[in-house]
Structure 1
Amino acid sequence: MTTYAIIDIAGKQLWVEPKRYYSVNKINVEIGKKIALQRILLLSKIGEKIKIGQPFLNGISINAIILRHFLAPKVIVYKMQPKKKTRRKRGHRQHLTSFLINDF
């Protein structure tokens, strides 16, 4: 059993572990800046009882470092109406932020 937590960040819930990298929708924070994640839904440490928030845990934070902002791979959306000569091709690249979880 490992140490892990379930956090709420940028509109998503992630299962995170220490010393791992994660990517979420863009967070408006400078690169290299440390952030404290406060919205923790569940926390499990080795040798301790699992803590479950209702909805969040109070007084606990997880430290992370913002590594980079980047664009996700392009997603192509192609719409076509048969027999109408109507075709539309669009692409979209989502802005993402990568961060490293330091410790709990």
Structure 2
Amino acid sequence: MGTYAIIETGGEQLRVEPGRFYDVRRFTPSKPNLLGPNAKVLIYRVLMIRHESMINIGHPWLRGAVVKGRILHSRLGDKTIIYKMRPKKKTRRKSGHRHNSARFVVDSIHLNGEKLHK
């Protein structure tokens, strides 16, 4: 069995594995270009770690658990379209927005200072 962790970031929970990349909303601060490419990231909000047959569950987070990674690049997410229409009133309004997101790759998962391998 592989090693994976469940982390909380960007208002959502993700199952992450070392060596894979993920897109996360609100990962960067309010200014999207503050963290550039190859910026190191440490995530301490780790809810669960599974390493082979051992499972560690936090309450709510694990103490001493860190997910280390780096940002590949910042980007805008897919466009969300908001369409409002009032029937029989001839009123229509269409608007939308795009979320700032970042693509980051997980380098390693650590528990109590010990690196957990695949």
TM-score, scaled to structure 2: 0.81
4+ residue segments displaced more than 3 Å: none
Which runs of 5 or more structure 1 residues have no equivalent in the other structure? none
Partner in structure 1 of residue 59 of structure 2: 54
Residue 44 (structure 2) aligns with: 38
How far apart in 2 are the matches of 1:57 and 1:73? Answer: 32
Residue of structure 1 in register with 2:101 after alignment: 96
Please state whether the residue corresponding to 1:73 is helix, strand or coil.
strand
Q: Deviation digits for residues 57-99 of structure 1, max 9, x if unmatched?
A: 1112110101111111212221111111110011211111110
Q: Percent identity?
A: 43
Which is richer in strand? 2
1:15 and 2:20 are equivalent in the alignment: no
- Is 1:68 equivalent to 2:73 in the alignment? yes
Cα RMSD, aligned residues only: 1.2
One-letter identity of the residue aligned with 2:82: V
The one-letter code sitting in structure 2 at the alignment partner of 1:8 is: E
3-state secondary structure, aligned to 2:14? strand
